[in-house]
Structure 1
Amino acid sequence: MNRSEIWKSYRFPILLVLGILIGSVFGLVAGEKAAIVKPLGDIFLNLMFTIVVPMVLVSISSAVGSMVNMKRLGSILVNLIIVFIGTGAVAAVLVLFAVNLFPPAANTTIAMGAAEVGESAAVGDMIVGALTVSDFPDLLSRKNMLPLIIFSVMFGFCVSACGGDESPVGKMLANLNNIIMKMVNLIMKFAPIGLGAYFANLVGEFGPSLIGDYGRSMILYYPLCLIYVVVFFPLYSYMAGGKEGIRRMLKFVPTPALTAFATQSSMATLPVNLDACDKMGVPKDIREIVLPMGATMHMDGSVLSSIVKIAFLFGVFNQPFAGVGTYAMSIVVAILSAFVLSGAPGGGLVGEMLIVGLFGFPPEAFPLIATLGFLFDPAATCLNASGDAIASMMVARMVEGKQWIHNRLKGNNEKLVENTDITV
């Protein structure tokens, strides 16, 4: 491609990178004074968070409600679960190998060995709380995304049973969905400035003082994320759509990946992900089911970080991190802790409390991995959100067959060229 084509294809990711870099430099130079630009970042995040709940409710209800063929819905959901569990298992095996080869708590100066590890807590109440709420108004909160998704699927199923997209409610949902996506495009015009300001404040407030005893864990985790991106993302994309799948991934995934890295929130990245998957050719019903569910359920980056945190705590408390039982429990806890993340920046605090509780670590363990969580969060969220986009391609491949991407692009080349990037 020549320069003009490169700029046209990657203009928005380039502007995001420039915004983040300028914000980071400003944060390093200004230090704590960089907080002066924090309101700009907060405004952008608040706008994104405000649109997330109605977008999830309307997009899932519309996608499910417009389905005449419930067999297709069942196929999407079954293959979605297969993809989520499969990629999560790959991430878990990779990180288990890494923490045994390079223990994250080796040579730490943190002295916690005297504290006793208690009994593991029951998880029944946590599961109920993660999947349901006790009152309808509680659904209208981004802190309860899984219950909202479950409600939206049920509501969409009932819309489909009562006339589908030809019913008055079905037509209203379709129109609302178009309106909401127009709002997303308006909000995203502010993204380079908002993300730059948000990052400036983070770097200015915490800066280089975050390394210390956690340096070894960061040296393990960030290259591990890079390995996962370089090796497995192209592999998953090739499985989904061959060489064209890889090309689409390289072209359209950088924007949601950068947005997720800067905001540290899969939910804030969801509107951007939906737009990216539209351009990648993922069918509407698939992307509008896979992506919202993936934002709270498909978290390969969080699986990687959770097992590193668990191994770190075992080392700090002088417990042997070994054995099939320990590894199996770590995988289960990592996936479960990823399940209950709220989608907000730093939302991993809930998952970290779950890790401490389920393994029976004392309360002193929580601030240790909470700090690790903050250090890992940008890369973890970047993997989570970009992995959702790739997962949607894999589900499309499993639902529509090997030639899905070529069949989709064949009749829509003009539309895809016109929508190559978000207008800013």
Structure 2
Amino acid sequence: MNNLTKKILIALGIGVIVGLVLPTIHQGTFEWLNQYVFDPVGSVFLNMIMMVVVPLVFFSLVVGVSDLGDPKQLGRMGVKTIIFFMVTSVISLTIALAAASVIQPGDPGLLGEDIAEEYEPSEAVPIMDTLVNIIPSNPVASMSEMEMLQIIAFAIFVGIAMAVLGDKVSTVKSFFKQANDIMMQIVTFVMKFAPYGAFALIASALGEAGWAAVGSLASYMLTVAGVLFFHLFVVYGLIVYFLGKMSPLKFFKGFMPAMTMAFSLSSSNGVLPLSMKSAQENLGVSKQVSGFVQPLGATINMDGTGIMQAVATVFIAQVYVVDLSLTDMLIIVLTATLASIGTAGVPGVGMIMLAMVLTSVGLPTDGIALIIGVDRILDMLRTSVNITGDAVLAVIVDRGEKKRGAIDENVTEVS
């Protein structure tokens, strides 16, 4: 467990105690602190998250798509990899939305009827209009208005164009990569403020909602964790058995070192060397396949993060007493799936992506305050799910390539 994680968990614990105990001891003191400390600090943290949403999504998507190479030359492995990641993302999001809708972790919610009734949800947009409007008539306006699906579409077009042009736009590609690095550094700065933000937000939320909020937060956490474990062991287990022709027990035993490290680091990129080593040495995946599939997966495969975003979106909608339509559900799946392309595998990005998903269906980003305090724990779990999906596909692709004779079965060790 790294130092930042320890700080966030400690801040979370202190925030829970302050939020639940202080109002019972002296309500006036809590109200003063909430007005002049908790609420301002929490608002600053949320503003910092919102500040980087649009540029991070745009730059990371452009870089992620352009790095895929010329679409005409992606080849067999590339097509298999991208299709698999997109399909499993849709499966994970669908399961998460269904589970959250049935369990209803946000009912009765944290805000109380008065606050919830003050929020007026935007009118649902017809599905055909949603699909047509994905292509922006003015990309700059879409960015200023945080029209996330339109931003994603424009970024994908730019990324594909850069991939096709190749070396002709090497300078521009370098600019986008450096801009993306800058945004990731800003995210790192924001996450250094996370312990204070987590403390302030959880103390304010629990202090205003009281002990009833504990049940809702626990229900939310259990829902996310339950779907993560189901997707990890059941969905991936079945896929690796039927498509990878490997025993799930052998797979999870061989990949457990990487899963454990991912839980500790909360970073798909940070654990990538160990993920590749485990896949090659313990699962028999060739270096060629592992070296292609797993780094690409660390960029475009975020099933665990998608599960959190889906459950969190339904949870926040329930808290604000907003009924999500079938169109809204489709937008959530579409937005989260497309946004996974280029999403950096580093701690804290999940919350920024959640802000984007909430915006896409017209829900208030203030709802992030309700879950930010407990998200670090779930972040550790979903990172393990993210990297496991990469390894599952590596096993499947490797088996197919060896069957075709395209890969030397003896080349499996890490140099």
Q: TM-score category by the smaller chain?
A: 0.5 to 0.7
Q: Is the 8 A contact 1:258 1:382 kept in 2?
A: yes
Task: State the match for 2:120 in structure 1.
Answer: 116
Task: State the match for 2:94 in structure 1.
Answer: 93
User: Partners of 1:104 and 1:86 in 2: how far apart?
Assistant: 26
Q: Is the 8 A contact 2:108 2:319 kept in 1?
A: no
Letter in 1 for 2:226: P
1:286 to 286, 289, 314: 289
Q: List per-residue Cα deviations over 1:278-299 (Å, max 9, x = no partner).
A: 2122222222221122112111
Q: List per-residue Cα deviations over 1:209-248 (Å, max 9, x = no partner).
A: 89834211011111221222221222122134324x5354
Letter in 1 for 2:241: Y
Task: State the match for 1:136 in structure 2.
Answer: 174
**TM-score, length of structure 1 as denominator length:** 0.60
Give the direction of change, closer, same or farther, for the CA distance of 1:241–1:126 in structure 2 (3 Å limit): closer
1:239 to 239, 242, 245: 242
1:82 aligns with 2:83: yes
Structure 1 residue 261: deviation in Å?
A: 1.2
1:297 to 277, 297, 300: 300
The count of aligned residue pairs is: 303
Q: Is the 8 A contact 1:261 1:379 kept in 2?
A: yes
Task: State the match for 1:253 in structure 2.
Answer: 255
User: Partners of 1:90 and 1:281 in 2: how far apart?
Assistant: 27
Letter in 2 for 1:289: F
Q: Is the 8 A contact 1:300 1:387 kept in 2?
A: yes
1:220 aligns with 2:197: no
Q: List per-residue Cα deviations over 1:31-84 (Å, max 9, x = no partner).
A: 89xxxxxxxxxxxxxxxxxxxxxxxx9xx99x99xxxxx97x510011112211
Q: Is the 8 A contact 1:257 1:386 kept in 2?
A: yes
Give the direction of change, closer, same or farther, for the CA distance of 1:330–1:127 in structure 2 (3 Å limit): same
Task: State the match for 1:155 in structure 2.
Answer: none
Give the direction of change, closer, same or farther, for the CA distance of 1:309–1:105 in structure 2 (3 Å limit): same
User: Partners of 2:175 and 2:117 in 1: how far apart?
Assistant: 45
Q: List per-residue Cα deviations over 1:143-191 (Å, max 9, x = no partner).
A: 4899xxxxxxxxxxxxxxxxxxxxxxxxxxxxxxxxxxxxxxxxxxxxx
**Unmatched runs of 5 consecutive residues or more in structure 1:** 1-18, 33-56, 65-69, 147-200
Structure 1 residue 103: deviation in Å?
A: 1.0
Letter in 2 for 1:266: S
1:331 aligns with 2:333: yes
User: Partners of 1:309 and 1:321 in 2: how far apart?
Assistant: 13
User: Partners of 1:114 and 1:263 in 2: how far apart?
Assistant: 40
Give the direction of change, closer, same or farther, for the CA distance of 1:362–1:78 in structure 2 (3 Å limit): same
Give the direction of change, closer, same or farther, for the CA distance of 1:98–1:275 in structure 2 (3 Å limit): same
Identity score, percent: 21
Give the direction of change, closer, same or farther, for the CA distance of 1:126–1:331 in structure 2 (3 Å limit): closer
**Unmatched runs of 5 consecutive residues or more in structure 2:** 15-62, 126-146, 163-171, 185-193, 207-212
Give the direction of change, closer, same or farther, for the CA distance of 1:112–1:376 in structure 2 (3 Å limit): farther
Structure 1 residue 349: deviation in Å?
A: 2.6
Structure 1 residue 354: deviation in Å?
A: 0.7
User: Partners of 1:127 and 1:387 in 2: how far apart?
Assistant: 25
Q: Is the 8 A contact 1:290 1:388 kept in 2?
A: yes
Give the direction of change, closer, same or farther, for the CA distance of 1:237–1:122 in structure 2 (3 Å limit): closer
User: Partners of 2:249 and 2:179 in 1: how far apart?
Assistant: 36
Give the direction of change, closer, same or farther, for the CA distance of 1:227–1:144 in structure 2 (3 Å limit): farther
Give the direction of change, closer, same or farther, for the CA distance of 1:307–1:144 in structure 2 (3 Å limit): farther
Indicate the SS of the match to 1:113.
helix
Task: State the match for 1:265 in structure 2.
Answer: 267
Kindly report which structure 2 residues correspond to 1:145-184, keeping only aligned pairs within 5 A, or say none.
Answer: none
Q: Is the 8 A contact 1:237 1:246 kept in 2?
A: yes
Task: State the match for 1:341 in structure 2.
Answer: 343
Give the direction of change, closer, same or farther, for the CA distance of 1:93–1:129 in structure 2 (3 Å limit): closer
Structure 1 residue 322: deviation in Å?
A: 4.4
Indicate the SS of the match to 1:241.
coil
Q: Is the 8 A contact 2:332 2:360 kept in 1?
A: no
Indicate the SS of the match to 2:108.
coil
Q: Which moved more, 1:388-397 or 1:334-343?
A: 334-343
User: Partners of 1:371 and 1:338 in 2: how far apart?
Assistant: 23
Q: List per-residue Cα deviations over 1:85-136 (Å, max 9, x = no partner).
A: 2222221232232112201211223243312334782533345457759561
Task: State the match for 1:5 in structure 2.
Answer: none
Indicate the SS of the match to 1:95.
helix
Give the direction of change, closer, same or farther, for the CA distance of 1:75–1:297 in structure 2 (3 Å limit): same
